[in-house]
Structure 1
Amino acid sequence: MNKKIIPIFVPHQGCPHDCIFCNQTRITGLSTDMTGQKARIIVEEALKTIDDVMVEIAFFGGSFTAIDPVFQEDLLSLAKEYKDRGLVRDIRLSTRPDCIDAEKLDRLKKYGVTIIELGVQSMDEEVLEKSIRGHKKDVVYESSKLIKDYGFTLGLQMMLGLPGDSKEKCIYTAKEFIKIGPSFVRIYPTLVIRETGLEIEYKAGTYKPFSIKEAIDITKKLMVLYWINNVGVIRVGLQATEDIQNGVDVIAGPNHPAFRELAKAEMIKDYLISIIPEEFRTICIETANINISFVVGNKRSNRIFINEKYKARFKVLVNNSLKDSFKVIIDDKEIKHIKFEQMYFELAKIYDLL
């Protein structure tokens, strides 16, 4: 059964720090404060469009557990009302690692919260300091353990390309996340948003964002690491406003509306390079229709790569029985039939991640 998420944004309310990359109003597209009544209207309108799916109310945008406790309870009691009526299954919120303690978790438990996401961003101390996060990495381990001990589902969020970051530090963060054992993660490339400290540093020449190529190269490795360790990757790339998608509020950085698809296409290309011969006339990939977009690549990037590097023809054959796998046929001879799950383990070796 599919899940429908009803997002309720509480932009920057309660957050004790102004991180260098953050402008929650720009990111969420909201400039007004949320209220219990506004939240009720959002939920009611969303429920009118939902039929026979699991429903989740999700509080995004700010550090929820740092909001005034009275306001927290106003929003949480609303969500619990719908949960008690059987209209909502899960209640989710996001917050900072240093805004978690037993008292806060007792409150969340009382109101039926089931999922807590921590905006960790990095496990490297230099990156945390340069990004003005306001906490050390130790608090991430402590708050994550406490959340799991209370029986909540834990999600962790990381960002690529913050000040002082590198490919090695991103991979280190992913490996530390895996040790913590979240149920899922989100991967966000760092974008330079208007009216942030990062914009000031970028314009002063003291900060350089990752390029799209650099960010994709790192992201594909992170996705492989998480997948082979049974950590779900539920989001890759910023879930942003129309202005950010159109580049209006983005000063610089690896912004792309199909960021996840770019990374998956790169994985397919890397795997094919590892198994195909140096010379051939035709390569055919047989798989289900749902996989075609990243097999061919964004704007046919994989097809173009094969055409130009190997001077060979690239074909795709739709076979909807192959939803979890694909076949590689070279010059009319099948050389490989592999499940995507197994491909990730092969890529982990290729990327030297094991």
Structure 2
Amino acid sequence: MGKNHYIIPIFVPHEGCPHNCVFCNQNTITGSSGKIDAEFTRNTIEEYLKTIKKENSIVEVSFFGGTFTAISMEKQKEFLAVAKQYKEKGFIDLIHLSTRPDYINDDILTNLKNYSVDVIELGVQSLDEEVLLKSGRGHSPEDVVKASNLIKKYGFVLGHQIMLGLPGDSFEKDIETTKKSMLMKPDIYRIYPALVIKDTPMEKMYKSGMYKPYDLYEAVEISKEIYCMLTSNNINVIRIGLQPTEEINEGKEIVAGPFHAAFRELVEGSLYNQCILEEIDKVKEEKIMIKVNSKDLSKIYANKKKFFEDIKQQLITTNIQVKQDNCVQRGNLLFIYGEKSKNISIFEYMSKKYKEGKYRVL
């Protein structure tokens, strides 16, 4: 039985960031604009620990929101000292932070090691120079390579975050960014389709017609390909799509873009249904049963069953029954045709497609 993984988020909004990226309104994204200090950090950890059963669990304190290593060294130490105390006492297991690639150097990493940090995520966003320039990132692709290599050298877990569909972007550029990123061997990954948030430069670009985000279908398709690329190379994709908050939700601070509260489910659901379509189309049977673990059923029926209904329209066979069966391993589909059966691993399906070069959205 796997361990439960709990995250205690500490949002450090925009405090250290020297740039104003076109997509960013950190107070909106983090849902925080108040004072964040050691006391706040300690109180937040204590509140979360009250709800966490430590037995058979991994507990992680994560500093998100701003650019952690761009804040003053004194402030970094203030936050990290609190987290380190809880780690030394055994209340938490990991310390995790996110930062910009141009705010990583030997002094910074030595300090993070001294405070027992485990995971460093870099906001890569893109590795295309034009996209970085149009997005106001203020760093180069070379900064990402240098920072990633240093983080690996110091023995941290390396994370990459990329944003799809930024100004100047395209499917081709998103794919190239992913290929270049994979060469740096990140351990974990986040995929974020770009959204237009209120009170950002990108909102002005969008309203003036200078920028058009991906629609939901496009975002699912490109995310699906990148997810396949990463997963096939054993890179753990820990998030796809921005997490909904009180502020980040439809009808709130989002002006435009492919937001969906369960975006990852759409991506995985599209993959599951693509696999079903190809397998059933191949066997040409009149009656088919698909068995799936109950925890994966929502993937087949994602997007209000639209993916599933769409594939049924493309098939000669319409007698398709889906049945929950927890004897089927998660991430697998068991196809039954009369007395014959075939088990397909979605991971192996993705890997095969990727290695054959047949899974493309371009």
TM-score range, shorter chain: over 0.9
Match of 1:42 in 2: 44
Q: 1:346 and 2:352 equivalent?
A: yes
- Aligned match of 1:229 in 225, 230, 233? 233
Q: 1:288 and 2:285 equivalent?
A: no
Q: What is the TM-score normalised by the length of structure 2? A: 0.93
How does 1:76-115 map onto structure 2 within 5 Å?
76-115=80-119
- Aligned match of 1:208 in 212, 232, 243? 212
Match of 1:277 in 2: 281
Match of 1:19 in 2: 21
State the Cα distance separating 1:280 from its structure 2 match.
Answer: 4.9
- Aligned equivalents of 2:101 and 2:83: distance in 1? 23
| 3-state secondary structure, aligned to 1:298 | coil
State the Cα distance separating 1:314 from its structure 2 match.
Answer: 3.0
- Aligned equivalents of 1:124 and 1:270: distance in 2? 30
**Alpha carbons 1:57, 1:90 under 8 Å: kept:** yes
Identity of aligned residues (%): 44
- Aligned equivalents of 1:245 and 1:323: distance in 2? 33
**Alpha carbons 2:124, 2:160 under 8 Å: kept:** yes
Amino acid paired to 1:309: Q
- Aligned equivalents of 1:247 and 1:149: distance in 2? 44
State the Cα distance separating 1:299 from its structure 2 match.
Answer: 0.6
How does 1:28-39 map onto structure 2 within 5 Å?
28-39=30-41
Match of 1:328 in 2: 335
**Alpha carbons 2:272, 2:300 under 8 Å: kept:** yes
State the Cα distance separating 1:335 from its structure 2 match.
Answer: 5.6
- Aligned match of 1:179 in 152, 164, 183? 183
- Aligned match of 1:144 in 145, 148, 157? 148
Deviations 1:163-205 (A, max 9, x none): 0111111111111121100111000010000000000000000
- Aligned equivalents of 1:288 and 1:258: distance in 2? 19
Match of 1:75 in 2: 79
Deviations 1:31-86 (A, max 9, x none): 21311111111011111111122211100000000001111111010111111111
**Alpha carbons 1:209, 1:253 under 8 Å: kept:** yes
- Aligned equivalents of 2:110 and 2:68: distance in 1? 14
State the Cα distance separating 1:249 from its structure 2 match.
Answer: 0.2
- Aligned equivalents of 2:35 and 2:340: distance in 1? 59
- Aligned equivalents of 1:222 and 1:283: distance in 2? 31
- Aligned match of 2:251 in 247, 256, 277? 247
Amino acid paired to 2:48: A
Deviations 1:7-46 (A, max 9, x none): 0000001101000000000111112131111111101111
Q: 1:4 and 2:11 equivalent?
A: no
Gaps of 5+ in 2: none
- Aligned equivalents of 2:312 and 2:132: distance in 1? 43
Amino acid paired to 1:319: D
- Superposed CA RMSD in Å reads 1.6
Deviations 1:226-258 (A, max 9, x none): 111000000000024223123310000000011
Deviations 1:94-117 (A, max 9, x none): 000000000001111111111000
Match of 1:298 in 2: 303
- CA, structure 1 residues 339+219, in 2 after alignment: closer, same or farther (shift >3 Å)? same
- CA, structure 1 residues 287+38, in 2 after alignment: closer, same or farther (shift >3 Å)? same
- Aligned equivalents of 1:314 and 1:152: distance in 2? 48
- Aligned equivalents of 2:255 and 2:360: distance in 1? 34
**Alpha carbons 2:197, 2:255 under 8 Å: kept:** yes
State the Cα distance separating 1:133 from its structure 2 match.
Answer: 0.4
Number of aligned residue pairs: give it.
352
- Aligned equivalents of 1:285 and 1:245: distance in 2? 34
Deviates more, 1:166-175 or 1:310-319: 310-319
Q: What is the TM-score normalised by the length of structure 1? A: 0.95
Deviates more, 1:337-346 or 1:58-67: 337-346
State the Cα distance separating 1:298 from its structure 2 match.
Answer: 2.3
- Aligned equivalents of 1:246 and 1:277: distance in 2? 37
**Alpha carbons 2:243, 2:261 under 8 Å: kept:** no
- Aligned equivalents of 1:63 and 1:240: distance in 2? 21
